[in-house]
Structure 1
Amino acid sequence: MRIVRYPIAAALACAILVVTFLAAPLVASASVLPMDVGDLVARADSVVEVRVSGAGARRGHASEGIERAAILTDTRLRVTRVLKGTRSVDLTVTQPGGAIGAEQLVVPELPQFEPGERCLLFLNAQGGVIGGYQGKMSIEDGRVPAMDLSLTQAREWIRELAAGTTPTERPSRTRPAGTMRLAVAASVSANQTVVASSVSALSATTLLNETFDATPAGWSMSGYGGTGFARTTYRKQAGTGSLYCAQSTNAAPGPIPTYVDTDYTRMSPISLVGYNAATFSCDVYSSMQDTPDNWFNVEFAESASGPWYAPNAFAGGSTSGWVHMTVDLSRVNDYWGAGLHDFLGRNVYVRLVFVHGTGSRDEGVYVDNVQVTADNVVLPTIASITPQGRNAGIGETVTITGTDFGATRGTGSVRFPDGRYMDGTTVDGAVVSWSDTRIVCEVPEYAQGGDVEVTSDSGARGASAYTTGFSTGGQRYMTDSATYRINENCADLTGEGAVIQAAFPTWNASGSRFRLAYGGSSGATKNPPSTDNGVNEVFFSSTGFTDSGILAWNYYWLIGNQIIESDIILNDSYSWANGAASGKYDVQTIALHELGHTVGLDDQYLDFSEAMGAGAANSTRRALSQAEIDGSKYLYGAEETTPPSDPTISSATHISQTAWYSSASPNFTFTATDASGIGGYSYALDQNASAVPDTVAEGSATSKSYGGLASGQWYFHVRAVDTFGNWGATSTYGIRVDAIAPATECAQNGVVSRAPVLVSLGASDAHSGVASILYGIDAVPGTAYTGAFLVSGQGTHSINFRSTDAAGNTESVQTAFVTIDGVPPTTSVSAPSSWVHTATVDFNTDDAAASTFFRVDAGGWTPYAAEFPVADEGTRTVEFYSVDVLGNTETTRSVDVFVDRTAPTVSSDVAASYDGPATIALSAADALSQVAAVEYRLDGGSWVQGQSVSVTQTGTHSIEVLARDKAGNVAVSGPTSFTVASGTTRFDQTDPAIVYQGGWRRLFDDGCWTGTAFAADRTGVAYLAFDGLAVWLVGSKGPASGLAKVTIDAGAPALVDFYAPAQVYRASLYSVERLSPGSHIIKVEWTGAKNPASSGTSISLDAVDVSGALQQAVAPTAVARRAPKRRVWRW
């Protein structure tokens, strides 16, 4: 797992990026390929010994392919020895990780360096560490703990591997996974004493104590030159002598032969029967301080012929001074890979082996104070660890019961196997309480099942198998679902997107709330991923990994413990498959593991059967363990299968399910309960009492409103779904909607009766039913209807009524009409009231349905159908009456009509000739209707009303006389001719002799004498000077004419009325027929006055007739004389 801490944005105080690597056992490979020393040497371009001279953290930049301000650490290294390759200069290793202020980036899979530290590094051509953390091996006190070898042995082995040869006396097979870590601390500092882990130094029995001050008994030598014993104080730890590797004799130290690897001293067997603890110890010294190349090892066997177990080796000259070494004889680990061996209760042979390196050396390795101690010590005994299956990293505790833990803890500890590593690494559990028989401690994060080891304060150890559950640091995805987009860019596999997606259902079916979903394709290829873009992506890349041994990683960002984005990158440098295939990795297996980190679980490499364990090539692992299922449930909550409760439903608008409501807009409130919480509701409104809503949630709202419902029975159905997708049963709430008012009818509507009427009302309602009826007679409804009621009183009565149903709907006021009619109809008659030629009689009644009858002059009664004529002359009496439909009969009435079909008689006293102006009298008579008017017409002109006529113009004339009676009958006499002997002169109105002053204007009217006339409607005067005995003014009379003032000479003026009810043309307006002989002047003047019956004041002049001796007309002084225009008629 990789943890990176740096800000995502200014608004965030801190964020964490986690990149998790998947590892595999040595027998197979997964995301971080585990490598033994042979693998590392083969892959490395250089293998060097270095000392860390310093380190510094900084921000990355774009030139390094870093798109974020990530933290990098530059570690400066001094090369002290080259074991492979040619890299001999100092170098700087740059890798993610480090701290800047409060920000920290931790990448556990990458090697970590401490200032001053010595280590072996396996480097690629670019100077990068290969194999992740495996590519750096610390050198501690002349040993390489990761290899379980002395530094000298490690160097030799690496050199031989680099040369392509099998290391001498080394088995070719690799170590089993989990055995690379030594069971006993074998490397110590100068003069440091390590107390045997299972033997108390205070109570041990010494079975062997050899100081080599004299030739020891029971030892034998073998190999080149044998082994000599010093008899001087030279190179002794105690006493006077020590064991050392001689050249050929027991002489003083001399050069050591090159490549002598078989020198050893073997001790006779020592019996460990009856002991439960035993420890071998010795002091070792080497004088090779410059370039030490000597090894010393202690080997153990149960017989002189072996097999020999070599737990550790000492590289001479790695430290200055004597070094004390110890080996627990109950747990002897084998350098050659045979595993642990327990020598307790057996005989043990001990041999001291000197292994010489290359070149000639002046000094060898010295050994002193060889001891074997044994005892029956009290070891911690674990009786039980309960409960089994506790989960790591979440604060769960176990109780360890047994004996001899120690009354107090002191330096005691409880250690669990660390699931992140496969080399025996352990992790401490936090102790809650400690007693001699009972320990309570937490199961630490990363702990995995295996031997749990209790170490007492005295260093004694006891172990017992224990099975853990899941491991997590509490990180989890920010929501209960994560959606991934996938780039199917794998170089050697098609359909990889579907294979990756196939891992989703496995986690989705874990029984937790967490869900993985596919969100479509992705175009991502950048590795490491670019800045967090809010999109989870899976893709393949053959570049960007910090080491070629990384198979896949999960790169994800956190805020607190919330994962906000995850990107999974699979290394396309490897071969991929869908399933088990030789030399290939199953995409689904690796995806399942990496997705487990998105869920929030830690690696558990020690159990190959789990998804979070190590993977393998040519194999599949596509299921979850119960622990992983439990971990997903812990982080997200367990998925429920229990559906929510049936919702309870209420309605504030339709409170009762049995009552009717006029509102067509109901509102429903509903709620359900569920232990996991309600995820939403699905609901429907219909008229089916047994309907079930679908399983598509409408949302989490707990109320719903509708509008515009039709009247009738409705059912609201609702069901709930919990956060796990479990749907509950349907609850139904019925409502009754009646939004339609009732309808009321009156059976007597339109009834007409001579007697009071009994009225009844009837109402109907299709849904809720009629609740009440109100009515009013000739008034608003206000009386409750309980039954038929009587309507009386003459006339038409309005019955106003309305009904209300049970839902409260009230209809608008309805009206019926009932008529009480006891009055006979009244008949009106239309008949002429004056004399007519034929009388037309018509009747009308105030009752359209009534029948009318009539008779004339007491004749027979006749039903009236239409107007009829009365043609008999005289006064006629028409009687009539009407009867309505009810039988009401009108009193007989009558009307007189007057009929005159005979024209009047008409005559005149016209003579055949006249000597001078003629005056003719006209007369007419009528026996019945009397004469209404007498008219005459001269010479075919217009008819003029009058009973006399004067004719002054000379010549032959004709006259017609017409008489009209009051009935309109007309009689005409003539035409009759007559002659006027003396002449008459007519001055047309346009004659220049007539002088006009003022407001005269010319009119055009065919009724005038010559089609024109002069008229004045404002101040105006007309003059004519003439010589004659008589004068006549001729003009037009009409309904809009006024009064004119006419003066002859200086005589008294006369007012002449030009008014007539109807227009009259060529009328004789004024005349003076007896003038003195001589010249005269006639003046016509507009007055502005009028007859009260007139509507205007205009006057119209058509002509002036003059008779008698004619003279030249002379205008008055004020008027210019003009030659007269005259027309003369002679008889």
Structure 2
Amino acid sequence: MAVNTTDVDALLLKLWDGSEWATLVNLSSSPWIHNWDTTGVVDGDYRLRMEGFDSSASLGTSLSGNFTVDNTDPANLQFAVLSPDLGGGSSISDRAWFNIPSTGVLSFTWNATDAHLSHAVLTGVPEPGTPSNDGPIFFAYRWDWTTGSFPPQGTWTAQLEVFDTASNSVAADLYIGIDTVGPDVGPPTLSVGSEWTDATSLAFSGLNIGASDNGGCGIDHYEVRDSADSTWTDIGASGGGSIALQEGVRTIEFRAVDLLGNAGSATSATISVDQTNPVAGGWVLPELVTSLSGGVAVSVQASDDRSGIDAANTTLWYGFDADGIGDQPDVTNDWIQFGTGLTASLPSSIVWSTKQGQYLSLKAELQDNASNSATSPVQHFIVLPSLDLSWESAFVDRLVVRAGSSGIVNITSVLISNEPWTGSPSVSLQTAPADRDSSVNWTTMETRTLSSGSLVDMKETLVWSLTILTAGELDIRIVIDGDDAIAEKDEGNNEVYVVAQGAEPGTIGVVPGFMPDMLSVILAGLFVGIWMNRKRAVTLQTN
């Protein structure tokens, strides 16, 4: 407001507030300047009037144009971000979290009251760029902010500042975050190691130690699964728990999940599980005879399909039993361990020559590499005499003889032993009619006792002469040790059989089973004779 101050002795400055004029200042000397502090003035529209005076009277007045005084900041400020997945944004501890893609949208709203609003400014949002001001011509009271390249994880402090036309302003902050990345899980501590185990469950802990969401919204819980199962199991926030184990080589996976449901990369552990006992088969050992000496090698057949047999912890046991019945050897009265693994030798101190007729009892206590164990069924093996007498051969010099005192057949038999033997066996020649029934017994025709040492060379040839007095087929049997006085490994090979036939005087007979009957022989002879005669006749005619 400019006035001419020539010849002015005083200036009176007044303010019009719309209802009356109020004096602001009365200036009486140069400089004619007044600094008016408007901060204490009520907001509104005003005018100024200046009146000049000399020593005697008023010199006139000057009026300013209307102007506005605005000393008040915008009020009732509201600032919000819409639809956070977690939190509200009012503080760092209540940050508004979003699980949105890089092309997502963040929607901010605001409001304020002021008679002279100018515009609103939003800063501190995910880059790149910043939103345009809202106002002053038009107010949307909202920003839908997107860049097309939001980062996968981060935090920001969104700042809103609202201005009026007098440049008064008010500000507010919102704490926001984006998290689309899962957290890292800590290395688990396991109740079993990398070796085979027979455990039915796995206990684990420590998933929370060293776990981190790397600046994200924070870890909510941990999960576990067997890789063969598509379903994850929530085991809570403690970082420990257990899972049932199935047989086989299992891969157990662990992961952390944040408060927005983002699952992190899994860490895994390989667990080899065998819950099945080993299976015992039979035994492999030589024939047990009284001539054995030294350590006898014995093997048990066993299998374990998964972890395999733990030979170091598999033990072999033996004993001697009188009758081969039962699970406790009654000669030794206890089980005696003789080795580990699947193969071992029996003690060389066993005197096998004293064990004839007894049974070697064997069992194995099996263990696999997962500590499953099983005891094999007890098996008994009889100790046989080492000696075995048998017939190598026997034959007659004639199958058919004329019955009577001249009907003599000679039988040659070869007796053998499986080892040099100095004993004296008895040998008998017996006969019986071939057409006998069960009531007819064998008749002993001759018994010989071989001299001691006859079988040192393991073979003895005996020639027998037998007179067939009556017509008919005759079975002939030669028997070793008919009284069973000699203990042998096999008593079933002590007999040998031949057949001879006594024919009526003037006829020739053969024994059925060795040659065709007489009628067949005669018919065959007639056929051959006729065929030869016909062939000769044809040949002569041709010539």
TM-score above 0.5, yes or no:
no
| The structure with more radius of gyration | 1
Per the normalisation by structure 2, the TM-score is 0.44
TM-score for both structures, normalised by structure 1: 0.23
